[in-house]
Amino acid sequence: MTEPNGATPGQEPAGAQPQAGSGTPPAGAPQGGTQITDVSALQRELDEARKEAAAHRTKAKAYEDAESARAEAAKSELQKALDRAEAAEKARDEGLSQVKAYQLRLATVEAARRLGFRNPEIAHRLVQADSVEYTAEGAPKNIDNLLTKIAESDPYLVNGKPGSPDLGGGPRGTPPGPDINGMIRRATGRA
């Protein structure tokens, strides 16, 4: 007669572990209740585990690459053409926005010089790009009005009154102010 675990009465089941506190300790276990570990054996196991993990990472990367190549190959020619067209449109839009920004900068700096701004680059930075109107060809058209408003609100940015014919340089025909070199020449008798 056998018991449900496969052992005959009075015998231990096959593969059973000794119970705590009973009999002899398993082979290789330290004597005296303290546990001593073999550091070199643990290091070898760690190295093996690292090698195995590296092999798994390599296999996973190869699988991902193969899967992406398979997905790319599975795309129809139409889908590939659509992807290329989308990328081309994106590049075109980026190029057009750069050209538009460059045209705005040129038009603003030119108008700022014409209106007598002390520093046309600063005038360009003060113009808000969303308030600029554009022609059908894409050229900015209300830059002069925007810069005139800036010059009226902050007159220290221009050399004279904005829109004056002297471009902020002072009245025409006025003799220049005293020249330090001329004064020195007159004082030393060389003038």
Q: Which residue has the tokens 């082979």?
A: 27
Name the β-bridge partners of 158.
Answer: 117
Q: pLDDT value at position 47?
A: 94
Is there a contact between 158 and 151 (Cβ–Cβ < 8 Å)?
yes
Q: DSSP code of 7?
A: P
Token reading at 104 = 């705005």
* Tokens 């303290």 sit on residue: 34
At 49 the pLDDT is 94
Instruction: Look at residue 112 and tell me whether its pLDDT is greater than 50.
Output: yes
Cα 100 to Cα 104: distance, rounded to the nearest angstrom = 6
Task: Tell me the pTM.
Answer: 0.42
Q: Is 162 exposed, middle or buried (0-12, 13-18, 19+ CB in 10 A)?
A: buried
Radius of gyration of the chain (CA): 44
Question: Which residue is associated with the tokens 């760690």?
Answer: 46
Residue 58 CB partners (closer than 8 Å, separation 6+): none
Task: Tell me the pLDDT of the chain averaged across its residues.
Answer: 78
- 3-class secondary-structure state, position 158: strand
Contact between 140 and 106 under an 8 Å Cβ cutoff? The reply is no
Instruction: Name the one residue in this structure whose structure tokens are 């209106």.
Output: 115
The 10s digit of each residue's pLDDT in 16-66 is: 554 544 455 555 555 554 456 788 888 999 999 999 999 999 999 999 999
- Please tell me what DSSP assigns to residue 115: T
pLDDT at 166: 45
Element (H, E) at 113: helix 77-114
